[in-house]
Structure 1
Amino acid sequence: MKIDLFYPSQVFIEKEALKYSFTYELVKKFEEKNIPIIEEGIKKFTKEMNEQQFFAFSKRSIILGVNKTKKFESCKPSADYQFSLVSGCPGTCEYCYLQTKHACSPYIKIYVNLNDIFDIIQDYINNGLPKTTTFELASTSDPISVEHITGSVKKAIEFFAGQSNGKLRLVTKFSSIDDILNIEHNGNTKIRFSINSDYVINNFEHNTSSLSERVTASKKILEARYNTGFIIAPIIIYEGWKKEYENLLIKLSEELKDYISVNITFELIQYRFTLRSREIILKRFPKTKLNLNEENLLKKWGPYGYYKYVYPKETSNEIKKFFAEVIKKYFPNATIEYFT
């Protein structure tokens, strides 16, 4: 089912955002659509809500704010560092690791101080010379989901187009990429699409573009000569999973038959959860079909200060071997960047 472009039910403006001209550009767009503009904090409106009401209200809200981060976090294995032009996303994927990281802030926050952020990126690039420094744009958000509102991704791509030693990476579950097709990128940006089996998308990836929409968008990105890849995440084990995931790759190879010779990349991430994320998921999605039982799973220390539960080594090795074989079969020139 095709989803409409996202627009919020209400927009909140943080006081510091009023110092930036970009705020007023965005406000004009919202006013043209008669979206209420509120110069107050969102907490005043959500403090009496239960968890499900708070989550639903937040996912329909945009906050215009300032990104004050001066030091970027590492983003291995995807890139050297991560940065954000947007925080959060209108998609409601039940398994999303941001359920924990953004437990108290599931709303969409658009940062209006773009030049400040680009200046920090430039410093990182300069300090990393002579090597090339890579940056992930979609670690704490899906910026393509609101690109039709912000234009921020376009500006980031154009910024990196002028860099000799800086590369940009981003991933999306959304198909609204037309605004970045006819711009100069100089091969310095890599765009990946998050894809999954029908079972996973239909049951857990709510309010995102369909698989066919994502694949159609990927063809446009390939045609625009961007470096292109796919992330299959999370890889979930269920009855018939091998058949469904192979069908996914068959469909993808058929749609991209004109690009089979291109070095398309794949990133593979198996399903995991933390006890903290389980608590939040069950509050927000009480009827979830996710397997949140830690029995028979492997307990590992995660990068965000929580233990995570992943498939045991034997199952993990089976997943890795299966995907290595089927990707090689249908995409002989592809590279698997990592499996985790």
Structure 2
Amino acid sequence: MKLFIPYKAFINPKSMEYEVGKFAREQLEKLNVPIIEGRTVLIEGESSIENYVKAKKTIYLTVNKEKKLRHCSPSADYQFSLSSSCPGHCEYCYLQTTQGEKPCMKVFVNIDEILAVIQRHIDENLPNITYFECGSITDPIALEHLTGNLKRCVEFFAKSENGRLKVVTKYDHIDSFLDINHNKHTKFRFSINTKYIINKFEHNTASFEERIKAARKIAQAGYPLGFIIAPIMIYDNWQEDYKELLDKLKSELEGYEEKITFELIQHRFTNTAKELILKRFPKTELDLNEENRQLKWGPYGKFKHVYPRKKSDEIRDYIAQIINENFSNAKIEYFT
């Protein structure tokens, strides 16, 4: 898919004290993106929908002052951020409730300071290996062409004896990582789903075919590889569609004998998320019928609406069966 080009960029003057900030500005200028200097981001829409759409096309170059990283169960020990939000318009996104009415993309340019924080967490956990997730509140691949930050991270972790990086993406711009001496310390996971769900709900992201092709390239480059199938939804023909997905994946990865991990996540939503989704996507066809769900207490102090236990078990057992039939080298890390 085409690289993301913001329609407007705001730049915190502090960002120009960093090499990545200067580099990012140069890239924006080459792309003829209007630039506004200042410490605030101004987005003026005439409705909440317009605010959301404009914000998703706006970036803000700034710094990440986070010194203590948050835990990131079940995928890693900690999470860190190279940016916040992403260009994707996934209707179900769990970040709907955490980034406000105007979720512009903050792009952090102080990469050396971010890596220093990561190193401190590694040191505090010695002699254990510490795993880090950098895709919890963004998609780092989507903005990589503006900063090169993720490449720096891959190179950093390649030299780390006790640090490991986990990346997740819905984008296919991965060519800049193919020739890095990664030392197998960075694991790429591709968020995949049926063609129906990608086409229906995952707007401004790479297509089914583009993601599978990118995964094959990453596998050929020797990276540890995984897939997140999420959110798994029940709809007409869902079983046939997920079988098609995993059959296609098997075909594209034929000959790849390294371990492949799978993380399985069923569709869920909170009451707050439902309210925002209906405002931003009033014609959505997401199943947000609470009568078809049961409540599950979430780690951040909110109830989530998930599939009832019988349906949930059916999803888990069916997807796991197809994975195990198709991949002798598969490991299902969790289902939630």
What is the TM-score when the length of structure 1 is the normalising length?
Answer: 0.96
Matches of 1:150 and 1:313, distance apart in 2: 44
Question: Aligned residue for 2:288?
Answer: 292
Match of 1:101 in 2: 98
Residues 34-58 of structure 1: CA distance to partner in whole angstroms, max 9, x if unpaired?
Answer: 1111013554332x53111101111
User: AA paired with 2:36?
Assistant: I
What SS does the corresponding residue of 1:176 show, helix, strand or coil? coil
1:212 and 2:209 are equivalent in the alignment: yes
RMSD (CA atoms): 1.2
Q: Secondary structure at the match of 2:291?
A: coil
Q: Return the letter of the residue paired with 1:248.
A: L
Equivalents in 2 of 1:143, 1:119: separation in Å? Answer: 19
Structure 2: gaps (5+ residues):
none
User: What corresponds to 1:14 in structure 2?
Assistant: 12
1:280 to 2:280 alignment: no
Are 2:89 and 1:92 equivalent residues in the alignment? yes
**Aligned residue type for 1:17:** S
Question: Is the partner of 2:42 in helix, strand or coil?
Answer: helix
Structure 1 distance, partners of 2:114, 2:43, is 30
Letter in 2 for 1:67: N
Structure 1: runs of 5 or more not aligned:
none
1:239 counterpart = 2:227 = no
Aligned-partner Cα distance in 2 for 1:167–1:190: 8
Aligned partner (choices 143, 160, 164) of residue 161 of structure 2: 164
Q: Give CA deviations for 1:175-196 in whole Å, capped at 9, x if unaligned.
A: 0000011011111100000100
Q: Say whether residues 1:187 and 2:184 are aligned partners.
A: yes
- Identify which of 299, 310, 314 aligns with 1:314: 310
Q: TM-score, normalised by structure 2?
A: 0.97
Amino acid at match of 1:312: P
Shift of 1:296: 2.9
Q: Structure 2 CA distance, aligned partners of 1:320 and 1:233? A: 12
Q: Secondary structure at the match of 2:292?
A: coil
Report the CA distance between 1:20 and its aligned residue.
2.2
Question: Aligned letter for 1:65?
Answer: T
Match of 2:33 among 32, 35, 42: 35
Equivalences, count:
336
Equivalent position amino acid for 1:256 in 2: L
The one-letter amino acid of 1:274's match is T
Contact 1:103 1:280 in 2 (8 A): no
Q: Give the 3-state SS of the residue equivalent to 2:301 in structure 1.
A: coil
1:241 and 1:45 map into 2 onto residues whose CA distance is 39
Label 1:124 to 1:105 Cα distance change in 2 as closer, same or farther (>3 A).
Answer: farther
Deviations 1:137-174 (A, max 9, x none): 10000010111221111000000011000000010000
Query: What is the CA-CA distance between 1:103 and the residue it aligns to?
Result: 2.5
Inter-partner Cα distance in structure 2 for 1:179 and 1:28: 18
